[in-house]
Amino acid sequence: MSKAVFPGSFDPITSGHLDIVKRAIPLFEEIVVAIGQNSSKSYLFSVEQRKSWLTEVFADYPSVSIGYYEGLTAEYCREIDAKFMIRGLRNASDFDYEKTISQLNHIIGKDLETIFFIARPSYAHISSTIVREIIKGGGDVSLLVPPNVKIDNQQKS
């Protein structure tokens, strides 16, 4: 059974994340899009809000489920018996960072394999960080997030 985890903060999910999952669907029997919560990080949106958006966005994709974990991603993959991790690469700094994490995860995750997807040019400029900055500034992010993600100021955590 090929099971993969796509971990991230998804604060909020963007069209770039959605594109990566859609491209990974034909490769895996099961994909868990997992919110990794780090107690030392602060988030713009609550876990409940982020989870609710993910559930709506992937409602029509039967092989995709939503997960949540705290702590090490490699440990979470081991707990749910996922042998693969999915990551997206937008640029050279993503590559430098992800390369090291992937090498470490292969050791601590006991052969956990990271599968990388190069961002399509039309999504490579999108990041949750940029989306959050636009939201904080009161701008419209509807072209950067999936249509189900409706943002109003009440939703911020």
Instruction: Please list the active-site residues.
Output: 17, 41, 90, 128
| DSSP codes joined into one string, 79-104 | HTT--EEEEEE-SHHHHHHHHHHHHH
Q: How far is the CB of 83 from ligand ADP (least distance, A)?
A: 18
CA distance 56 to 52: 6
Nearer to ligand ADP, 76 or 123 (CB): 123
Task: Please tell me whether residue 50 binds ligand ADP under the rule CB under 6 A.
Answer: no
Helix (H, G, I), strand (E, B) or coil at 33: strand
Of positions 33, 85, 126, 145, contacts ligand ADP by CB under 6 A: 126
Our finding on whether 12 is near ligand ADP (CB under 6 A) is no
Among the listed residues 5, 20, 44, 85, the single contact to ligand ADP using CB under 6 A: 20
Give burial (CB, 10 Å; 0-12/13-18/19+) of 59: exposed
Q: Which residues bind ligand ADP (CB under 6 A)?
A: 8-10, 14, 16-17, 20, 87-88, 90, 94, 119, 123, 126-128
